[in-house]
Chain A
Amino acid sequence: MLGLIGKRILSAIPSVIGVLVVTFVLTRALPGDPAAFFAGPAATKEAIEEIRRSLGLDKSLPEQFIVYLKDLVQGDLGNSVATGQPVLTEIVTRLPASLELTLLGLIVSVLIAVPLGVMAATRPGSLIDHTCRVVTTAGVSLPAFFTGLLLVYVLYYQLGIAPAPLGRLDIFYSTPTRVTGFYLIDTLLEGDLETFRAAAAQLILPVVTLAVFTLAPLARMTRAAMLEVLASDFVRTARAAGLPRRKIIYTYAFRNAMLPVITTLGMVFSFLLGANVLVEKVFSWPGIGTFAIEALIASDYAPIQGFVLTMALMYVALNLAIDILYIVIDPRVGFEA
């Protein structure tokens, strides 16, 4: 099994290299001149040239790429010129914020979508089936930023139920000691329930926004997979053997139907990370998404490269995790390989 995982990791290397090259070329194609931007308002041509040299932008593109790779090997992702911080520090501090949000979004979405999908599959063509389809499809049809704004407007501004959209914690709570970077976990580790509640409250609206957006693909996939499994031979056999319907659906069929759903999770996660960028902007969420947007608009190379690299690695890691999960759930996969 370890060999299998090793092989799986190796097979991801080409796409990571591809990502590196594409990002590098893309960032260099961005319009604007970072040197002119950072030289300040009243800079002369010479001052700009000087900054260009100090940023290493006077070298040829292949040279810049090699310098970049060398730094990368040493774990140096460069400095963000906009925030003045090393990119690695920025990403390490911001990543948990994005992950906490995205993962919770995914969990909530799964908790709602999977039961919905199962319900729809057990009664295809019924009112529940149609309602499920319409509701989830409507969710994915709303731009995530619009849903977010709408929720803020109604729940915070009009009704005052939700807390202010001010990032991860209300201003007057102090951040928990960093262990995992996930506020929900760190506060519990400290036993600080008050702060835990505050952090959870801040999470509700953005998490709902993200979840609404991803209900559809998950519910749809669950339904399809359930339908297929319910029509399969072993379910028919089980039925013929007189096993109770509930046991058939929830023990045999459900377990088997989860395989394709788990595969979909990978795609949905990537989809969520993209939507996350916009949602973070709406909720002033201090994650890596907002960081990337700002860097992109400032033609700030290092953060964009760092961001994309992190994303790519995460994606690879996630797919790996899914593959392993697959092996756990369905031992046949392991034997075949």
Chain B
Amino acid sequence: MHRRLFLSATSGLVAAALAATLAATPAAAQSRKETLVVLVENGPNSMDIHGVGTSFRSYVAAWNMYDRLVTFGRKTLPDGTLSYDSSKIEPELAESFIMAEDGKSITFKLRRDATFHDGSPVTAHDVKWSYDRAVSVGGFPTFQMKAGSLEKPEQFVVVDDYTFRVDLPKKDKLSLPDMAVVVPAIFNSKLAKQHATEKDPWAMEWMKTNDAGSGAFKLEKWTPGQETVLTRFEGWKGGKASNVKRVILREVPSAGNRRALMERGDADISVDMPQKDSSEIVAEGGSGKYTVVGVPIENSLKYIGLVTTMKPFDNPKVRQAVAYAVPYEQIYKSAIYGRGIPMCCSDATGPKDASWPQPFPYKTDLEKAKKLLAEAGYADGFETTISIDLGDATASEPEAILLQEALGKIGIKATIEKIPGANFRSAMLQKNRPIHIASFGGWLNYPDYFFFWGYHGQNAVFNTMSYQNPAMDKLIDTARYEHDPAKYKAEVMKFIQLAMDDAPRIPLYQQILDVGMQKNIKGYTYWFHRQLDFRTIEKM
């Protein structure tokens, strides 16, 4: 008797709970229309773009909450997608800007109607404070500023309340573009100073979790690890306001759950799409429940790196042998489901033009690979390790498995090492992972910018192959400050040629940034920082 009671009690409980679910209907159907729900794998870890350890996931907050003096223009790509235009610089908080004849200073006139989220006006003092902060706090922001020859507070001059001047040591084509990236955001200095302390003059602690911007969206709520909620700033003067009133950035670590949420229409945009999902939706040709917009990521490569200071990869023949052994076709098909621009199999032996990235003249040819290995004295092969980033395992793991299998066919026995995402960079910094699969992309879309980080003998962390070649360094350094277009082109082609011949880095493909969105979402724009710009997104 009693056990029946127990049973019916428990089953009744479960049934009641399920019934409760069925009956539950979201109360706020109206606000749903004006709210944009965005799914990300991981969210921001700081609201301060200058903060120590601010991850790239945080750029989305900084980009939408803050304005910069200038920004990039926009263009429409051949497939109709909107994209930023790296060749056009437009004023944002500035009204106009003039570069001096000798290129050694730039003067900005600020808009007079712009205000911060607390209503106070944006002045040249705020701009100076923000630039001073970026070059003083050290770490990534300071480094990024340096890339455009912006190094010392003395360079930043307040001419009057609405006029600001930047002095440059020498003419630098990257200075202006570097002021349009995420780092030189303009902070509300009066507000920040209220929260500065003697130990913390730049209010780093406070800024981590608070908003001191003038951008189109302001911070409503941030729960680290869960969600970031932004609301439209009605006082924004920088352009046409979006019809989205609120943006909820929700962190959903499981890719399967993100897909399910999109298919069931519970979310509007999904940012971190696995290649398989996006290829399936693209294949549906718009007949599916939602769509995917894919844009090749400029100036970026997924590649196989070979550490040139470690035997036997110090021998270019061994590196070329690996380049001929890579199963490119299989990788495009099985690892990334066609969501990438192939960078192999060029018919020419050298660069076709000065564009970057471009296909390398290697294709899968095991006979040639074996011959090269034999010439290098490794006819019997050798043992080595392939290292991949666990955080990027969805694509990198099948790539590594396919590479491992192919290398086995030319006698190279490789084991696969998966390195947890956070430790991958320090592993790369050690430059002792003989074969590694990694990716690198430069914010500023210039080949010499990519090469400066990725191939230069200064041996930055992105030169994961520890490749050092004086001839290469000389070409890169000259191209960096070359103002004659014809000469620049020749120099670029020369260093690309060198990269092809020496093969320390074997390009696999140019990655595609896929963003899934419901069919009523319009105005998505691709940006170099790969994050969403909510200012142009409209919900129909």
Residues of A whose CB lies within 8 Å of any CB of B are 31-33, 36-44, 47, 50-51, 54, 81-85, 90, 93-94, 108, 111-112, 115, 118-119, 122, 149, 152-153, 156-157, 160-167, 170-173, 194, 197-198, 200-201, 204, 208, 246, 250, 281-282, 284, 286, 290-291, 294, 297-300
Contacts and interface: CB of A to CB of B under 8 A. Distances in A.
Given A161-B22, A163-B21, A298-B420, 15 more contacts: A37-B422, A47-B138, A47-B139, A83-B224, A122-B3, A164-B257, A172-B31, A173-B28, A194-B24, A200-B21, A246-B1, A250-B2, A281-B253, A286-B223, A297-B420
Contacts of A164: 257, 260-261, 264, 266
A112 B10 contact: yes
A290 to B, nearest CB: 7
Contacts of A172: 26-28, 31-32, 35
Interface residues on B, range: 35 or more
Given A42-B461, A172-B31, A198 B24 contact: yes
B53 A81 contact: yes
Contact of B461 (A41, A112, A156, A171): A41
A201 B20 contact: yes
Nearest to A80: B224
B144 interface: yes
B21 A54 contact: no
A162 to B, nearest CB: 6
Interface stretch (B69-77, B340-348, B423-431, B507-515): B423-431
B480 to A, nearest CB: 16
Interface in B44-68: 45-46, 51-55
Interface string B1-22: 1110011011001100110111
B219 to A, nearest CB: 14
Interface of B: 1-3, 6-7, 9-10, 13-14, 17-18, 20-24, 26-28, 31-32, 35, 37, 45-46, 51-55, 138-140, 143-144, 208-209, 223-226, 248, 250-254, 256-257, 260-261, 263-264, 266, 390, 420-423, 425-427, 429, 453, 460-462
Contacts of A85: 209, 224
Contacts of A43: 139-140, 143, 461
Contacts of B32: 172
A269 B138 CA distance: 46
Nearest to B254: A282
Contacts of B253: 281, 284, 290
Nearest to A298: B422
Contacts of A44: 143
A32 B24 contact: no
Given A41-B461, A171-B37, A294-B225, A284 B28 contact: no
A33 B223 CA distance: 26
A83 B349 CA distance: 48
Contacts of A294: 225
Contacts of B429: 33, 36
A245 B438 CA distance: 71
Contact of B225 (A83, A163, A165, A171): A83
Contacts of B460: 42
